[in-house]
Amino acid sequence: MSQTHPLIAIKTQHMNGEPVQTVNARDLYHFLEVRLSFSTWMKNHINRYEWVDNTDYLVFTHSGPHAGRPFKDYVLTLEKAKEMTMLTCTEKGHELREYLMNVDKEPFESLNDPAELRRLLLTYTDKVRALENRLNEILS
């Protein structure tokens, strides 16, 4: 599942078997207009703040164009992306930090609408009934 937001794309990835909202670190790097090289910037954050692979970030190794030198891409949890924006003392960092903080609130806004809440509960109830029916079929 993927949502594109005006400032940066937020995607759902699985870390430790759980779905987690993530941000592509390279997109974040370009948005923040960081002056260090991407690999140095990432290594500095991972080492300095003792981030854990598959908990705070995921790393993917790609081969370069035309079978060139391999390079790494990272996806960060939304929390680590926020942390990186806090550590970037720039206007762009502040703008993105505010944006990412609001992304967390979006899923809960629908719970303030009684009609939407009713729809969600009915959908959940239908799924539970379907699972109960399947279980009864298996057990009989």
pLDDT tens digits, 42-98: 999 999 999 999 999 999 998 777 667 888 999 999 999 999 998 888 888 888 888
pLDDT of residue 105: 65
Structural domain of residue 99, as residue ranges? 2-104
Domain check: are 13 and 45 in the same one?
yes
* Predicted structure pTM score: 0.68
Q: How many domains does the chain have?
A: 2
Residue type, 51: W
CB-based burial label for 23 (10 Å; 0-12, 13-18, 19+): buried
Domain check: are 64 and 84 in the same one?
yes
pLDDT of residue 57: 96
Return d(Cα 32, Cα 50) in angstroms, integer. Answer: 22
Domain check: are 67 and 99 in the same one?
yes
- 25-32 and 78-87 are packed helices; what angle lies between their axes, rounded to 10 degrees? 20
Domain check: are 16 and 59 in the same one?
yes
